[in-house]
Every structure is written in structure tokens, then in C-alpha cells.
Amino acid sequence: MTDLLKSIGRWLDARLQLGQTIADVAAHPVPRSSASWWYIFGSATLVVFILQVVTGICLATVYTPAADRAWDSLIYLNYHQPLGWYLRALHGWGSNFMVALMFIHLLQVFLFGAYKFPRELTWVAGCVLLLCTLGMAFTGQVLRFDQNAYWGLGIGASIAGRTPIIGFKVVDLILGGPIIAGETLSRFFALHVFVIPALLIGFVGLHLYLVLRLGINEWPMPGRIVRRNSYIAEYQELVHKDGEPFMPHAAQKDLVFAGLIILSLLVVAAIAGPIGPNGQPDPTIIQTVPRPDFFFLWLFSLFALLPPWTETVLMLTGPVAVIGLLFALPFISGTGEKSWRRRPFSVVIVILAVTLVGTLTWLGTFSPWSPVMDAWSATPTPIDYVKGRTPLELQGAVLVQSKQCRNCHSLGGEGGMRGPALDDTATRLTRDQIVRQIIQGGGNMPAYGKNLTPAEVNALVAFLATMHPRGEPPARDSARPALPASSQ
Amino acid sequence: MTSIKLNSRSLKSLLAIVSLAGTFLAGCDSLPGRPTQAELPLRPSNVTDFATLYGENCAGCHGADGKSGAAIAMNNPVYLAIIDDASMRRVIANGSPGTAMPPFAQSAGGPLTDRQIDLLMRGIRKSWTGAPGAAEGAPPYFSSTAGDSSRGAQVYATSCQSCHGPDGRGGSAGSIEDASYLSLISNQYLRTIVIAGRPDIGHPDWKHDVSGQPLTPEQVSDVVAWLASKRPPPPLAQSN
């Protein structure tokens, strides 16, 4: 039996010549300093991508890319297909893992100066892979055809529609028509399953080929300057004097980390379960709070917070400028110091970018700028604000709910955050100021004077005038004499 | 190239891996990530779970557990005893004119189907029936007589004034003669509170305003008529 297998192997190898190629790859020398735990993120991204291909193929055997049946096929996977939910969980969390690992890889490569001469095109191929992966993430989110997908797509199309002159053509191209309809999903299915994966596989091949041919970036040492005329000779010397074969020292770290990543993916998918789908993608259902997946949350926040007059310009030129800069980086700064210790500007850029994206992502998880549309009917008035109130004050508390003040203003930490919390209103505003604020609005609050009767305003003011922490007196009009404590 | 040999050690590892995978797969049904039926996304009009319907539509004003909210408690045995099914259904569906209670039926511009309104009514009754006999002898939900406001003043002085104060000045519980308050509350709502009280925030029911002297149906109608007489005309009528 073993002899037969051996002879088949020899027959194949004589014709394919794979054995020697694999042996060459395994034995190619890498700088000893590069066989480090810092150099494991790229291979881990690739391993997760392979897993995505496998789980994606399995999902494609069940998924129906038709607008009226896609959602049902996801529900079938989640609830009826044995282990269908786990497959979806692996694919969904796999995409999160892949995006996260790729960004870590990007930061590491940037900080280690790996994009510099002669690896400019390795970086460019990596940038294409970054865009493809984000493209996969977005199209994947659309294929999970639920309310988030529906509205996310609508927002994407409306951004594209801002393009001057050809805007409506671009929308037609994305959606397969002027609205999200039957053809939209087929289009995104084709992108997600054929076009972008083909690009990904092609560019992964190029990326790996370049890494092998040009050699892995050496550990950056302060003072070791990259010069076009001498770098290649210096690198060869380093590899020969202080190098070792890729197998086993460098590769084993890659393998261990890839194993850990797969294991954590298996565990996270088993504990957290599949991502969505949430409600049906039906625009007549207005009780929905659509959110993009976490990797686009920062964009969601950014677009929400941009001043309106800057929107069109920044939404159209911003991405082009950022992506352009990313591609141009090795051509702008292709030589010089590699070590991050000698590149303070790069370190500041990374810190700023991570802080900015992190903060915007965090804000995106609860979007304080959006009213909470069901707070008025779903979030009770805190019991402390109900007890001991007069009948009029209690009616004011009812009006805070029924007039939907609560959708923008929180009480006891619950409710909208668009306006200030009402818990300490009375310490900030006198009765007269509360009346003026309610009737005339101001500071982003609409005027409610025409929507409230005088009795309703009186009740609201009576309630809000009680909103001051115990021990902290309410605000007082300094032009009027202080009232005795009992009447406050 | 090395050949693959199946010795006893690798056989054992293989068995261990297979059995581990088997255990894992067999245990999938109980893994925390597996979606439960409760997580199945429903159209808002198909939600039939009482806790969800109440929590999303009613809890804001009527309190998390049917009590201690800003508006009248649903978790009040006297209230549940005096109001009939049709009336409760009608109030949820069409709102309560003269109060802050908005209509919830789709036919009146609200979000709920007739079936959901029925489920809410039944759910409220089922969840918070309360002690049997708590409402024995309670005056009816609807007034059968118009009520006499001059007699009502007497009832107020005997039964309400100790907390709500004389001459509209408000006592420990604040004034109920306040013009703004009376403009925001209907006669029916006043009647309901006089009978059922707000035990969750300390307002007694019809039996306990004065110990041992429950209010009669006529007295309830009278005091409501007296309070109604203090209600100012609506602002539009006033300007005309």
C-alpha cells in the first residue's frame, strides 16, 4: 500500500515538479530577525481567507440570491439546516477576523517600513487586497439581506448618487436600476462570489510571489538606511550572514498563530452565533435602527457627524484622497529610515488614525446623534421621578413620554442622547428659561410652542422644575429675591 | 519525502480528535451561539408576546411592571375589576380623549393590529389580576348620573382635602384643583383615579380615602362633577 502511494507520488512529481518548488520555498532564507511574532499577521489573514472560501462555498449551496427569498434562506440556515447556524457564524465572524487581522498586518507593515524599496509593488498589491477585502465585507453585508443590508445599500447608493453629472448612472450601475430591486441582489452576489474573490486570489498570488522573490522585510534597525543603489546587496548579505531557512523557525510561528486564530474563530462562532439576519428587508417596516457591520461603523459615524455643507465634497473626494495616498506611499517615501523609532511622523499618523477610527467606531455603536424613536413608549420614567410628585408634575412626566421628549432627552440614563439629559434641568435653567426653551426651542431643539397647549407647557415646566439632584438647589433668577426654601 | 505510517500512537490521537469533534458536534444544540426561536426576527405586526408588546408600547407611561409609571397603573386590582374588556380594548385602540393616552390601533394611525390590542388586553388581565375581592363593592367604571358639584365640594372636603389641601392651595400631595392639571385630564380619568387610586405611589382607592367610609357611586360622581366645574374652558374657546 505504502509502495503504491510512493510510486504514484513519484509519477506525479516527475511531471508536476512540485516537490522541488515546495522544498525551495520552505528552504528560502529569511533574516533571523524576521522569524518573529510580529511577522505572523499576513499569513493568518490568508488562512482566514481560505476558511472564508470554504465556508462561503458551503453557504452558496443553500443561499438564494433573490430579493424575495434571500432572507428566508438565511432563516432556513439558522433554524432548519443542521449546523447551518454554525456555518453562518463561522463565515460572519471569519469576515470580522479577516478585516481585523488585515488592519493589524497593515499597521505592522507600515510601522516596520516594509513598503520601502524594492517592495513598493508588494505594498500596492496589499492595498488592492485591502480594498477587495473591504469590498467583500460590504457585499457580504448586502447578501445578508436584512434591514441593515437594505438601508446600508440605500445609504451607499445615495452617496454614489452625489457624484456630479453621472450620479444617477452610478446608482443604476450599483443597484441594477434606480431602486433596490430583484437585480440588485444578483449583482452583489456576482461581485461577492465571482469578481472580488477572483481578484483576491490573483493579488494574493502576486503578493506572495513578491514576498518570496524580494525576500521578507528584515527587522528594521534604527540607522540602517534604505538606499536604492545598495539595499539589495545589503539584504543579500544579511540573509547569508544572519539568515535561516523559512522552515521551520519562521513558519512554525505562522502555523501556531494561524492555529490559534482558527481555534478562537471556532470558539467565538460557537459562543456568539451567527450575525443576523435581523428583520425583513422591507422598507414599509419603519421600526428599525439600521447599523453597518463593525468595520464600517466609523464611516457611519463620520458621515453622521460631518457638517452638512461639507458632505458632498468630503464624501466624494475623501476616499479618493485617502486611497490615493495609501497607494502613493512607497513612491513618496520609498527610501530612508525603516525603523519606527526614527519615524515619529509615521507613529503619530498611526496613533491618530487608530484613535480616530476607534472613537468613531465606539460612537457608532450607540449613535448618540440619532433619536431613540421608541424611547417614549418603551422606556419607563424612573420611579424616583414619579414618587412624591404633585398631580400636575405627574402629568408633566406623562407628557415627557407622550410628547416624545424622551426620544432625544434621557432620564436616569435611558432615552435619546441627542439633547441634554433632563435629570438636572432645574439646576441649569430657571422656570422662565424652561418655558422659553420649550416654546422657542434653540440650540438644535425645535420650537414646540405650536404643538403644546398652555396647560401642557405648564405641566412640563412643573415636572422639569423638580429635576434637580437632592441637596442641589434649583437654578434661581438672580434678578428676583430668593424664595423661602419651602416654596422651591 | 516521508511516508505516513499509522502506528498505535497516531491512531490514538486520531481517535481522540474524532471523539472530540463528535462530542463537539453532538453538543451543538446546546451551544450558546445557536439562535433560539425567541431571537427569530418578526415583523412588528406579527409580534404576539405580551411582555414584548407591553414593553415596547405601554411601559413608557404605565411603568415597567404595570406600576410606578407616570400614568395610571395597569397592575391595580381595583382598576382591572371595574373596567370591562371592551372599554380597555377601546382605550388602547382609540386612545382616551382629553388625556395624553394616544391611539394605538392601526385604524387610528397607531402601530398595533386589532389582534395585538386584544393580546395586550388579555395579557394585562392575566399578568396582574391581583387579590380576589379587592374591588368588592367598588363603584362602576362609568358614571350613571351626572353628579352634583355642590355636593361634590362636601365630598372633597371630607375625603380629599387632607392630602390635596383646601381652596386649591395643595396639601402634601399637591393640588388637584390646578387649572392646568384639570385641562389635561378627562372626567373619566378623574373618576378612575378616585375609584382605583394609585396604590403604587400612595394614592388610596375609594375605600380608603377615609378609613371605614368608602365613597358611594354618587359621591364619586359628585366630586368629579365638582372638579370638572373648576376646569377652565379650552384656550381656543377662551379667545373666541
CB contact under 8 A, A379 and B34: no
For residues B122 and B157, membership in a common domain is answered with no
Residue A383 with chain B: CB contacts under 8 Å: 63, 68
Which of A77-86, A93-102, A373-382, B10-19 is least confident? B10-19
Give yes or no for residue B55 having a pLDDT over 80.
yes
Beta strands in A236-392 (DSSP E): 243-245
Q: Which of B181, B201, B235 sits opposite A392 (nearest CB)?
A: B181
In a domain, B189, yes or no: yes
In a domain, B161, yes or no: yes
CB contact under 8 A, A395 and B185: yes
How far is residue B120's CA from residue B54's CA, in Å, rounded to a whole number? 7
CA distances for B19 relative to A265, A361, B13, B29, B123, angstroms: 20, 42, 10, 17, 48
Would you call A390 an interface residue with chain B, using a CB distance cutoff of 8 Å? yes
Q: Which of B57, B69, B111 sits opposite A380 (nearest CB)?
A: B69
Residue B141 burial (10 A CB sphere; 0-12, 13-18, 19+): middle
Q: What is the tens place of the pLDDT at every residue in B184-231?
A: 999 999 999 999 999 999 999 998 888 788 999 999 999 999 999 999
How far is residue A190's CA from residue A183's CA, in Å, rounded to a whole number? 11
How far is residue B196's CA from residue B82's CA, in Å, rounded to a whole number? 8
Q: Which helix (H) or strand (E) holds A31?
A: strand A29-31
For residues B118 and B172, membership in a common domain is answered with no
Residues contacting residue B212 through CB under 8 Å, at least 6 positions apart: none
* Min Cα–Cα distance to chain A from B21, Å: 12
Kindly indicate the confidence band of residue B27, based on its pLDDT and cuts at 50, 70 and 90: low
CB contact under 8 A, B63 and A89: no
Closest residue in A to B52 (Cα) is A378
Give pLDDT, residue B25.
64
CB contact under 8 A, A391 and B175: yes
Q: What is the tens place of the pLDDT at every residue in A212-244?
A: 999 999 999 999 999 999 999 999 999 999 999
CB contact under 8 A, B70 and A86: no
Domains in chain B, number: 2
Would you call A391 an interface residue with chain B, using a CB distance cutoff of 8 Å? yes
Residue A394 with chain B: CB contacts under 8 Å: 70
Would you call A92 an interface residue with chain B, using a CB distance cutoff of 8 Å? no
Domain that holds residue B79: 46-127
Domain regions of chain A by residue span: 29-366, 375-487
DSSP letter for each residue of A246-264: IIIIIHHHHHHHHHHHHHH
In a domain, B168, yes or no: yes
Residues contacting residue A279 through CB under 8 Å, at least 6 positions apart: A146, A147, A285, A288, B41, B42, B43
Would you call A386 an interface residue with chain B, using a CB distance cutoff of 8 Å? yes
CB contact under 8 A, A386 and B69: yes
Kindly report the CATH number assigned to the domain that includes residue B216.
1.10.760.10
Q: Which CATH number describes the domain made up of A29-366?
A: 1.20.810.10
For residues B104 and B171, membership in a common domain is answered with no
Q: Which of B3, B42, B69 sits opposite A381 (nearest CB)?
A: B69
Would you call A12 an interface residue with chain B, using a CB distance cutoff of 8 Å? no
In a domain, B88, yes or no: yes
Retrieve residue A184's grid coordinates.
440588485
Residue A78 with chain B: CB contacts under 8 Å: 35
* Min Cα–Cα distance to chain A from B67, Å: 9
Give yes or no for residue A420 having a pLDDT over 90.
yes
Q: What is the tens place of the pLDDT at every residue in B88-147?
A: 999 999 999 999 999 999 999 999 999 999 999 999 999 998 677 878 889 999 998 889
Average pLDDT of the residues in A69-88: 95
DSSP letter for each residue of A385-450: GTTT--HHHHHHHHHHHHTTGGGTS-BTTBS--SS--STTHHHH--HHHHHHHHHH-BTTBPP-GG
Q: Which of B43, B176, B185 sits opposite A285 (nearest CB)?
A: B43
Would you call A454 an interface residue with chain B, using a CB distance cutoff of 8 Å? yes
Would you call A407 an interface residue with chain B, using a CB distance cutoff of 8 Å? no
Q: For cell 499569513, what's the residue?
A: A43
Q: What percent of chain B has pLDDT over 90?
A: 70
Would you call A392 an interface residue with chain B, using a CB distance cutoff of 8 Å? yes
Q: What is the tens place of the pLDDT at every residue in A8-18?
A: 999 999 999 88
Whole-complex ipTM: 0.88
In a domain, B18, yes or no: no
Q: What is the tens place of the pLDDT at every residue in A449-483?
A: 999 999 999 999 999 999 999 889 999 888 877 66
Q: Domain A375-487 adopts which CATH fold?
A: Cytochrome Bc1 Complex; Chain D, domain 2 (1.10.760)
Give pLDDT, residue A7.
94
Give pLDDT, residue B210.
83
Retrieve residue B131's grid coordinates.
387579590
Where are the alpha helices (H) located in B95-216, listed in sequence order?
Answer: 114-127, 149-155, 161-164, 179-183, 187-196
For residues B166 and B118, membership in a common domain is answered with no
For residues B163 and B107, membership in a common domain is answered with no
Give yes or no for residue A396 having a pLDDT over 50.
yes
Would you call A332 an interface residue with chain B, using a CB distance cutoff of 8 Å? no
For residues B64 and B114, membership in a common domain is answered with yes
Would you call A277 an interface residue with chain B, using a CB distance cutoff of 8 Å? yes
CB contact under 8 A, A395 and B184: yes
Residues contacting residue A123 through CB under 8 Å, at least 6 positions apart: A109, A114, A115, A329, A330
Q: Which of B56, B70, B170 sits opposite A398 (nearest CB)?
A: B70
Q: Which of A19, A271, A377 sits opposite B58 (nearest CB)?
A: A377
Q: What is the tens place of the pLDDT at every residue in A130-167?
A: 999 999 999 999 999 999 999 999 989 999 999 999 99
Residue B70 with chain A: CB contacts under 8 Å: 381, 385-386, 394, 397-398, 400-401
Would you call A458 an interface residue with chain B, using a CB distance cutoff of 8 Å? yes
Contact B144, A355 (CB under 8 A): no
* Min Cα–Cα distance to chain A from B65, Å: 10
* Min Cα–Cα distance to chain A from B204, Å: 14
**Which residues are registered as beta bridge partners of B112?**
B105
CB contact under 8 A, A2 and B5: yes
Q: State chain A's mean pLDDT as an integer.
A: 93
How far is residue A147's CA from residue A134's CA, in Å, rounded to a whole number? 20
Q: Apex CA A135: angle with CA A134 and CA A139, to 5°?
A: 120
Average pLDDT of the residues in B17-40: 78
Kindly indicate the confidence band of residue B3, based on its pLDDT and cuts at 50, 70 and 90: very low
In a domain, B204, yes or no: yes
Give yes or no for residue A41 having a pLDDT over 80.
yes
Where are the alpha helices (H) located in A30-166, listed in sequence order?
Answer: 41-60, 70-79, 84-111, 120-143, 147-160
In a domain, B192, yes or no: yes
CB contact under 8 A, A378 and B57: yes
Give pLDDT, residue B194.
96
Give yes or no for residue B41 having a pLDDT over 80.
yes
* Min Cα–Cα distance to chain B from A10, Å: 10
In a domain, B154, yes or no: yes
Residues contacting residue B117 through CB under 8 Å, at least 6 positions apart: B89, B92, B93, B104, B105
CB contact under 8 A, B70 and A375: no
Give pLDDT, residue A95.
97
Residue A90 with chain B: CB contacts under 8 Å: none
For residues B121 and B156, membership in a common domain is answered with no
Q: Answer yes or no: same fold for A29-366 and A375-487.
A: no
Residue of A11 and B167 predicted with greater confidence: A11
For residues B118 and B174, membership in a common domain is answered with no
- Please give the single-letter amino acid code of residue A407: N
